[in-house]
Structure 1
């Protein structure tokens, strides 16, 4: 057993990416520019999204449900019945009574007539077909080499030495723009939420709090005073006036028509004669 300790290898520093300077040089100005461009777009987007959610929840969904239930569903059923009568039934009839017999006839013609004729023609033209095939193969070979020399090799060189480096640089630029857009969108989202909270706080301080204090400190005591000093006495006066009017109307009726007659008393006791029947007998 080897008792000597093996010297620990120090981790090799990772080789710096050959495009690190280019990436850093592109990343910072692109992110700053994109942040400044995306910020108003994100604010408008959040405002539009809030308005769209409100309209969707309180306008579009109820109207769509109403239209779907009372308009589109009955219309769809009627159109389905009409299409079934005008399209499906004729197509079924056409397939059953025209296309199926015609297909059987064509199958018989192919199997009994065309196939034997084709076999006979191939048996008579086999040497000619081989010669034509050989000529065609030679032409294809020549066209292949002409195409390879004139088109494929220049295209490969252009792709390898021109388009690939340019595409690599463009890929780096587009990746940084994409990352910058992502960072800017997230950062502007935080800014938009902060702006929304600030605007909400200002609206509450400027409008809601003064209205609430005005209602609590001014309108509520004034309402109580008006209720106690105006409304309640006015209600009592109106009640007293109404009672006086009713009493005057009753006095006028008695003065013109006299006291109303009382109904005669009716004796509701049972008769006590010999021949009368009671509830007991």
Structure 2
């Protein structure tokens, strides 16, 4: 089923490329040639170092690091730290936890119960003292303090009223008169003089600022704008074009050098395979393997069979010697100490025949006569 055209994704439009100037076109080819000549040896050396580093890491550094840094720590953890931790845990449990549990269970718990009972008795005694002794005394003290506070409040109220009247007519009224007829007019005159002085300073500052502004604009800003617009901007654009072309040339040369390095590596690998690997493989396959098979069939296997036969004969001889020595020891013991006594039969306690225990009898095999 075909997808409707309205659901199809529109093709991506290529991003507009900025127009290139004559300077970029003029310096592109020489820069790319020079950079390619300089970058190819660096890329070859870099790829050789990368291959050598990977080979050294896989064959030397990783095994050595495992043998030197990993396995000693694993062995230390497995055979030293873990057994030591288990031993310490066992000793801690035996010497600390078990005594602490015993102390808590058989010493601290009874002592705590006794102290709790004593505390409850003391608390009940203190509650009786509070209810029967301290509460009536407190009520009497509160009644006496209330009367004394009422008298003191009456005296303090009279004194405060007198002080308030004297403060109003000796301090507040003269202060209001002084503020209204002396301080306020003087303050208004000083404020008017300050506003005039501020206006004068502002006018002078505005004139001086305008003069300094136009002087700085003419002497500093206009020359800086001209320098930026007519000198630095064209030079910066030229340097930007040169830097962009050098960057593109480096990237292009690095990619080309990578292809060249890959081709050189493949050629060297092919030569190494033709010169060393294939001759060695041919020698191993056509010479060493048949020779090894012949040596295995004609020398090693017969030698192994002979060795196994010698081993079997040796084991049989050793077995016969051990049997002979055992028989000689038995004959010597019988000749010196005589025949050993025959073992006496032991009376069996199990019931025999029809004398077994039944459900209707109360005696057992061990209790019967």
Give TM class, smaller chain.
0.5 to 0.7
- Quote the residue 1:139 is aligned against: 208
Cα displacement string for residues 102-129 of structure 1 (whole angstroms, at most 9, x for unaligned residues)? xxxxxxxxxxxxxxxxxxxxx9666655
Shift of 1:164: 2.8
Distance change in 2, residues 1:178/1:253 (3 Å): closer
Shift of 1:152: 1.2
- Provide the aligned C-alpha RMSD in A: 4.1
Distance change in 2, residues 1:18/1:131 (3 Å): same
Cα distance in 2 for residues equivalent to 1:254 and 1:25: 107
- Quote the residue 1:235 is aligned against: 304
* Residue in structure 1 matching 2:352, options 272, 276, 279: 276
Shift of 1:34: 0.5
Structure 1: 4+ residue segments shifted above 6 A:
none
Cα distance in 1 for residues equivalent to 2:30 and 2:306: 81
Cα distance in 1 for residues equivalent to 2:319 and 2:208: 128
**What secondary structure is seen at the aligned counterpart in 1 of 2:353?**
coil
1:35 aligns with 2:7: no
- Quote the residue 1:206 is aligned against: 275
1:161 aligns with 2:224: no
Shift of 1:135: 3.8
Shift of 1:46: 2.8
Shift of 1:32: 0.9
- Quote the residue 1:46 is aligned against: 47
Distance change in 2, residues 1:127/1:195 (3 Å): farther
Identify unmatched segments of 5+ residues in structure 1: 1-16, 71-122, 262-274
Cα displacement string for residues 75-99 of structure 1 (whole angstroms, at most 9, x for unaligned residues)? xxxxxxxxxxxxxxxxxxxxxxxxx
- Quote the residue 2:242 is aligned against: 173
Total equivalences in the alignment: 198
Cα distance in 2 for residues equivalent to 1:18 and 1:32: 20
Cα distance in 2 for residues equivalent to 1:41 and 1:49: 12
* Residue in structure 1 matching 2:254, options 151, 176, 185: 185
Shift of 1:228: 0.9
Distance change in 2, residues 1:34/1:131 (3 Å): same
Distance change in 2, residues 1:52/1:155 (3 Å): farther
Cα distance in 1 for residues equivalent to 2:20 and 2:45: 40
Shift of 1:52: 5.8
Shift of 1:246: 1.9
Shift of 1:139: 3.3
Higher-Rg member (1/2): 2
1:216 aligns with 2:285: yes
Identify unmatched segments of 5+ residues in structure 2: 1-18, 75-189, 331-350, 358-369
**What secondary structure is seen at the aligned counterpart in 2 of 1:276?**
coil
**Taking structure 1 as the reference length, what is the TM-score of the superposition?**
0.56
